[in-house]
Amino acid sequence: MAHESEKVIIVEGLTDKNQINKVITDDVTIICTNGTLGVERFDELLETYHLDYKDVFIFVDEDRSGWKLRKQLARELPHAEHIYVSSEYREVATTPEHILAAALLNKRIAVNPMFLL
């Protein structure tokens, strides 16, 4: 059986996932929603990743589609913690690595210390 991380970060797209993967050293599963989620797709993610039993973090863009997705996920996963990027950067994918690292570390997610300098 494959090892499953106890921490899950939900992001919108692959570029967000790649940017976060650059800075973390923690054992984290990153799920891309590719935008908004339909009920069936959400149920599939819930079952596949056992989201009710994991530490879930919602890390989406500070734009209209990100707000909509965050609101939907917050309703479906009330135990999830939210990670925000400054509206100055708007997108997770374009947020400087040191800013991402600080935001992730603030949620007890281990990051490569070189991004904290």
pLDDT band (50, 70, 90) for residue 24? very high
- pLDDT at position 1 is 44
Measure the CA–CA gap between 100 and 75, rounded to whole angstroms: 25
Report, as an integer, the average pLDDT of 40-66: 95
- The encoded tokens of residue 61 equal 């863009």
Share of the chain above pLDDT 70, in %: 97
Report, as an integer, the average pLDDT of 84-88: 92
Closest CA to 22 of 11, 34, 36, 35: 11
Report, as an integer, the average pLDDT of 93-97: 96
